[in-house]
Amino acid sequence: MPETVIAYLLFLAQVSIALLAIMNPFYTFPAFLAATAEHPPRELRSVSRRTTLYAFGILAFFLVTGEWLFELFGFTLGAFRVGGGILLFLIGLNMIFEKQSSVRERVKATEQDVEEREDIALVPLAIPMLAGPGTITTVLVLKAKAQTLLQESAVLIAVAAGCLLSYYVYVNARQLHLLLGHMGVQAIVKIMGLIIIAVSVQTVANGIRELFPPL
C-alpha cells in the first residue's frame, strides 16, 4: 500500500510540474496586465476567477474526452506523442529565446482583442493564453500516460493546481510585476521553458518507441 501511495505521489508531482511549466502564468501575466489595465483593482479578482474557471473547464473537457478524440481522428498514441512533443519543444524554445519585441507584440495583440470582445476572461485570457494549444496538448499527452483512473485523477488535480496558481498570479499581477521586475519574470519563464523542452524530448522518445517497437 505505501508503495502505491508513493507511486501516485510521484506521478502527481511529474504531471503537476509538466502542467505548471506549460500553463506558466508568469509567461502570460504581462499580457493579463495589458488586458486589464483599465479595470479597477476590485474587478481584477472577478476577471481572474472567471479566467481560471473557464480554463479549468476547457482542460477538464479535453481530459475527459481524450480517448474519444483519439478514436475520432484515427491517430495512434505514438503519433500523437511525437506530434505533441514537437509542438511542446517549439513552445519551450520560444519561451527561452523570445525577444522583448515579441512580448510587446503579444501584449499589443491582446489589447486589440480586448477592444473587440466584451468578456476578456474567456477570450483572450482563458483562450488561448491559459488554455491554449500547448496546454491542451500537454493534458492529452498526460492522459495518455495515465494507466489507471487514479492516475487520471492526478492529472485533473494538476490542472486544478495550475489554475489555482494562475488565479493567484493574476489577482496579484500588479504587485508581482513590481516585486519581481522584468528580469525576475524572464528568469522564471526561461526555467519553465527548459522544463517544457525536457518533457517534450521524453514525450517524442516515448512516441518513437511506440511507433517503431524493437523487433
Task: Judge contact between 127 and 54, C-beta under 8 A.
Answer: yes
In the chain, where the domains are located: 2-21+34-210
pTM of structure: 0.78
> pLDDT per residue over 2-59, tens digit each?
668 889 999 999 999 999 988 888 888 877 887 787 778 778 899 999 999 999 999 9
> pLDDT per residue over 86-107, tens digit each?
888 888 888 788 754 444 444 4
Q: What is the pLDDT of residue 56?
A: 97
Mean pLDDT of 156-176: 93
Q: What is the pLDDT of residue 117?
A: 42
Q: pLDDT band at 1, cuts 50/70/90?
A: low
Q: What is the pLDDT of residue 115?
A: 45
User: Is residue 210 packed enough to be buried (19+ CB in 10 Å), middle (13-18) or exposed (0-12)?
Assistant: middle
